[in-house]
């Protein structure tokens, strides 16, 4: 069976259906943004080992839940293996490496602002891969979401190496969505999420064994293990399925408009955990990423003539 590219229909969806299709992705992005404080507990942990553990637990959880709920998790075949390996290598393994290595040369806001450029790239490239034209309303909304996310995260200092890693992180963020599109049609959100997680777990385990040693896992204390478990359940197993469900329903371009909710959720989470209240600029950014998607979500890509 040939690999199928998901191309959303050209007519506008009714509001109830649009809400139903958008809500999973929105919740997934809120989960991702809310994990910032938890991820901070892993800054001193062996990177590859703890991330391998995270993705292994997520894959096992997804498989178990699929079996319990009677969901089919198709076995990849043919070129699907290559697409899934690319999702795991780019969106999971290299993305984590880029964030850690980039943080050695750039302040977190720099990496955050770079990744915030994902909506624009998804709005441009996603329709082209689906043999459709980018929609001006979606592009406008994507630019607004990126600007709003930048307002939330502010600026920061970096050097040329930090900028390079920031660019890699952006490419990986976009690749996490676009590389999954060709296999979402047959494998579905559960299949793509589960297979990408176990492939990433194997790759990261190999990197961990060669760079951190087989005893690195023993260095993980209770806080690190609890943080890894939270990331595995909420930010990986749950958020991945929710995100890919929305990508499959809306297409990558319009789904990308929801990514700005991640930094907004991170800002709200910091406030709830006792952090300083966001300033007027950050508040304006939150308002933008909350309202801007409304400009483009109802627009559909049109086939190229």
Q: Which residues contact 18 (CB under 8 A, 6 or more apart)?
A: 297, 298
Q: What is the pLDDT of residue 304?
A: 56
Burial class (CB in 10 A: 0-12, 13-18, 19+), 225: middle
Q: What is the pLDDT of residue 215?
A: 93
pTM: 0.87
Secondary structure class of 166 (helix, strand, coil): helix
Using 50 as the pLDDT threshold, list the residues of the chain that sit under it: 1-11
Q: What is the pLDDT of residue 14?
A: 65
Q: What is the pLDDT of residue 10?
A: 43
Q: What is the pLDDT of residue 303?
A: 59
Q: CA 197 to CA 66: how far, in whole Å?
A: 14
Q: 133 forms bridges with which residues in the sheet?
A: 302
Q: What is the pLDDT of residue 264?
A: 81
């Amino acid at each position: 069976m040939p690999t199928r590219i998901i191309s959303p229909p050209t007519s506008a969806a009714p509001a109830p259906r649009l809400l139903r299709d958008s809500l999973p992705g929105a919740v997934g992005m809120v989960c991702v943004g809310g994990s910032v404080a938890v991820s901070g507990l892993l800054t001193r942990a062996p990177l590859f080992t703890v991330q391998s553990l995270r993705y292994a637990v997520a894959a096992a959880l997804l498989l178990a839940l699929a079996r319990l709920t009677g969901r089919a998790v198709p076995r990849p075949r043919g070129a699907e293996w290559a697409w899934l390996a690319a999702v795991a290598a780019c969106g999971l393994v290299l993305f984590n490496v880029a964030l850690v290595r980039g943080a050695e040369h750039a302040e977190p806001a720099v990496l955050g602002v770079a990744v915030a450029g994902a909506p624009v790239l998804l709005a441009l490239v996603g329709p082209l891969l689906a043999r459709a034209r980018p929609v001006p309303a979606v592009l406008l909304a994507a630019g607004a979401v990126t600007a709003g996310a930048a307002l939330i995260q502010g600026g920061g200092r970096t050097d040329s190496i930090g900028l390079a890693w920031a660019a890699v992180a952006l490419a990986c963020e976009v690749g996490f969505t676009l590389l999954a599109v060709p296999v979402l049609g047959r494998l579905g959100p559960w299949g793509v999420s589960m297979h990408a997680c176990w492939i990433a777990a194997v790759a990261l385990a190999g990197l961990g064994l060669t760079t951190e040693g087989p005893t690195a896992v023993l260095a993980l204390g209770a806080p690190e293990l609890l943080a890894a478990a939270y990331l595995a359940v909420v930010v990986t197993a749950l958020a991945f399925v929710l995100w890919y469900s929305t990508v499959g329903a809306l297409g990558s371009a319009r789904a990308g408009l929801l990514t700005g909710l991640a930094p907004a959720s991170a800002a709200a989470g910091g406030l709830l955990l006792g952090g300083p209240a966001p300033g007027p600029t950050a508040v304006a950014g939150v308002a933008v990423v909350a309202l801007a998607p409304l400009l483009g979500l109802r627009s559909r890509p049109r086939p190229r003539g």
